[in-house]
């Protein structure tokens, strides 16, 4: 259904949430093409060996059909084991999950550090696949808490020191996460460039803040070195970058979590050439799968 690159990602989310939901309510109206009464989404799911073992199931492959619109009541029942796998959200790197980085993503800055949004909470899980930037509000808090040695890691233990710094260094070549600084009663992350000049969060460029969003999200949500592999949906990774730098960002994200399947929606010719598999949507946009 639909004819756009963003619609393709939203269709995957709608199908996943129909089978096993994180608790959100994706907007599916745009997935039914204008003039039609409904749409069908068919997905072939392949589970990892660790997921099969964890959930005690026998099959690796399952299929699902999601019917939207007038005939939504005709959606066939889904496999209960697939529902169990797809509805499970755990920030541990030992758990597979689906993450969505929408085209309008922005790291909220200039807000009080939110100490109430731990990774894996009900609210956090419900917002993972939405397009509200409020789902990223806990990231600056997580960076600060990690720097102070107070953050819990995605596996429930203490967060590994320096992991966000390492991840950010892989995604951003122009700045380094260099520690924390205090302003009044607040504590914030600080950055340096190659010449040693210091910068605050508000002084980063759009592309640098985007890299920080990805780095902290990957660490906080357990996407780094994820054992079973997760599905990571990214709309327009080149948004603040040129084509070549956009491709380099996706490649670095793949190295951060080599078992993950990255599906991007893009018009970048460089990204398309580097993708393992491409899906051409009307000759104008495409969604490469993998990296």
Domain membership of residue 67 (yes or no) is yes
**Residue-level pLDDT at 73:** 62
44 lies in a domain?
Answer: yes
Task: Point out the residues of the chain with pLDDT beneath 70.
Answer: 1-3, 70-74, 111-120, 153-156, 281-291
> Is-contact 113 216, C-beta < 8 A?
no
What is the rounded distance in angstroms from the CA atom of residue 250 to the CA atom of residue 267?
14
Range of the domain at 77: 1-88
d(CA 211, CA 168): 6
> How many structural domains compose the chain?
1
> Is the CA virtual torsion 168, 100, 115, 137 positive or negative?
positive
> Per the domain annotation, does 4 fall within a domain?
yes
pLDDT for 195 equals: 96
Q: Which residue has the tokens 């959200």?
A: 89
Residue 54 in any domain: the answer is yes
The answer to whether 87 and 95 have CB atoms below 8 angstroms apart is no
Say which residues have a Cβ less than 8 Å from residue 218's Cβ, sequence separation at least 6. Answer: 167, 224, 253, 256, 257
Is 246 contained in some domain? no
pLDDT (0 to 100) of residue 285:
45
Q: What is residue 39's predicted lDDT score, i.e. its pLDDT?
A: 86
Q: Is 65 within a domain? A: yes
For residue 245, the SS3 value is helix
Residue 77: which H helix or E strand, with range? Answer: none
In a domain, 28, yes or no: yes
pLDDT one-digit tens code per residue, 52-84: 988 988 889 999 999 888 665 667 889 999 999
């Amino acid at each position: 259904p639909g004819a756009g690159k963003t619609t393709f990602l939203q269709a995957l989310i709608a199908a996943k949430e129909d089978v096993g939901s994180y608790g959100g309510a994706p907007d599916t109206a745009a997935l039914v093409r204008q003039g039609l009464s409904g749409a069908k989404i068919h997905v072939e799911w392949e589970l990892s060996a660790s997921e099969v073992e964890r959930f005690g199931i026998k099959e690796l492959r399952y299929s699902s059909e999601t019917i939207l619109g007038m005939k939504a009541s005709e959606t066939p029942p889904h496999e209960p084991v697939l529902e169990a796998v797809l509805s499970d959200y755990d920030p541990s790197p030992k758990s597979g999950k689906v993450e969505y980085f929408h085209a309008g993503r922005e790291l909220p800055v200039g807000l009080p550090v939110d100490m109430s949004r731990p990774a894996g909470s009900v609210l956090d899980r419900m917002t993972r696949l939405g397009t509200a930037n409020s789902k990223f509000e806990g990231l600056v808090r997580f960076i600060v808490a990690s720097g102070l040695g107070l953050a819990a890691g995605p596996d429930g233990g203490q967060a590994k020191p320096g992991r966000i710094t390492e991840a950010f260094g892989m995604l951003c070549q122009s700045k380094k996460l260099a520690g924390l600084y205090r302003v009044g009663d607040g504590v914030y992350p600080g950055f340096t460039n190659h010449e040693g000049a210091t910068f605050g969060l508000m002084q980063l460029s759009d592309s640098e803040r985007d890299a920080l969003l990805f780095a902290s999200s990957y660490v906080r949500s357990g996407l780094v070195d994820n054992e079973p592999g997760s599905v990571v949906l990214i709309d327009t990774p080149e948004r603040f970058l040129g084509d070549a730098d956009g491709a380099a960002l996706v490649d670095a994200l793949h190295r951060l979590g080599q078992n993950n399947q990255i599906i991007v929606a893009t018009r970048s010719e460089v990204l398309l050439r580097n993708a393992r598999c491409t899906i051409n949507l009307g000759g104008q946009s495409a969604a490469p799968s993998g990296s």
